[in-house]
Amino acid sequence: MKTYGVIMAGGGGTRFWPLSTKAEPKQFLNLSGKDILVNETIDRQHDLMDQKDIFIVTNETQAKMMKERTGGRIAADHILAEPAARN
């Protein structure tokens, strides 16, 4: 059975306020001192599945920043942008 990783990373920056904001939501915060949260999540997936089988779901306004901040860890076409929040 093939395993895929789906990282839900489309938050609006409200739960960790004032650290996270709409412009810099929690998935882009470095809370551990090592890397931003989304990159640490990607790295944890490597022992479980191939990198080519990891996808990130984010919102349309953060998709460009997600591609930049993940720095090639995930293929650009594996970063999926939702046009509207779905809760």
Give residue-wise pLDDT tens across range 4-52. Answer: 999 999 877 777 888 888 888 999 999 999 999 999 999 999 889 988 9
Residue with tokens 């860890």: 73
Least Cα distance to 7 among 64, 65, 53 occurs for: 53
Average pLDDT over residues 71-83: 92
86 pLDDT higher than 80: no
Residue 6 vs residues 16, 27, 62, 74, 77: alpha-carbon distances, Å: 22, 14, 16, 11, 13
Segment 54-80 shows an average pLDDT of: 94
| Residue 87: pLDDT band with limits 50, 70, 90 | low
